[in-house]
């Protein structure tokens, strides 16, 4: 992060900074993480700041929280360019890029009304496999329907 960005995101002693979130997606990121702010976690959002890498971006900062690998994978579904920075005692101890999972089970919904995962929703869990990374797309295992990055964001946000 540049000095200007560091000023926007006040330093935290322990916690997680999620950088390079697509502009406008920070609230979706919090929802995906089951709204830690509702469980007593201090959360700071920086929205729509300039980024040399992506034009405009959001930054999410959470105190005293570290993400699991599973959470980082889910995060990649709505913020495929995100960088997850873990901070302990004011030091960056880990920097991870969000990597979209190869297979996503039970999180996304197929958009084909004739798909078995839609018709038999109660008994058949949706399964999608990664079809493209930039832009992100996933393919339904049952009917082959492709979900675009926008559709995925809309479903999760």
Interface ranges with Zn ion (CB under 5 A): 110, 112, 115, 140, 142-143, 145
CB closer to Zn ion, 22 vs 117: 117
Strand locations in the chain (E):
15-22, 43-51, 55-63, 83-88, 91-97, 103-105, 127-133, 136-140, 146-148
Beta-ladder partners of 61: 17, 44
Q: How far apart are CA 41 and CA 60, in angstroms?
A: 12
CB closer to Zn ion, 138 vs 142: 142
Nearest CA-CA partner of 67 in 17, 8, 9: 17
CB closer to Zn ion, 78 vs 115: 115
CB closer to Zn ion, 13 vs 129: 129
Minimum CB distance to Zn ion, residue 134 (Å): 23
Beta-ladder partners of 33: none
Minimum CB distance to Zn ion, residue 123 (Å): 15
Cis before 144 (ω within 30): no
CB closer to Zn ion, 71 vs 112: 112
Minimum CB distance to Zn ion, residue 112 (Å): 5
Q: Under a CB-based contact definition with an 8 Å cutoff, are residues 100 and 73 in contact?
A: yes
Minimum CB distance to Zn ion, residue 133 (Å): 21
């Amino acid at each position: 992060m540049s000095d200007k960005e560091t000023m926007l995101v006040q330093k935290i002693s322990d916690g997680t900074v999620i950088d390079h979130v697509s502009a406008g997606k920070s609230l979706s990121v919090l929802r995906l993480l089951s709204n830690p702010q509702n469980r007593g976690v201090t959360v700071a959002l920086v929205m729509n700041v300039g980024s040399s890498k992506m034009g405009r971006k959001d930054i999410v900062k959470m105190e005293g929280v570290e993400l699991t690998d599973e959470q980082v994978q889910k995060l990649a579904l709505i913020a495929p360019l995100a960088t997850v920075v873990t901070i302990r005692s004011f030091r960056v101890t880990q920097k991870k890029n969000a990597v979209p999972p190869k297979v996503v089970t039970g999180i996304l919904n197929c958009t084909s009304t004739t798909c078995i995962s839609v018709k038999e929703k109660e008994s058949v869990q949706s399964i999608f496999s990664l079809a493209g990374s930039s832009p992100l797309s996933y393919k339904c295992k049952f009917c082959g329907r492709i979900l675009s990055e926008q559709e995925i964001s809309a479903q999760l946000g």
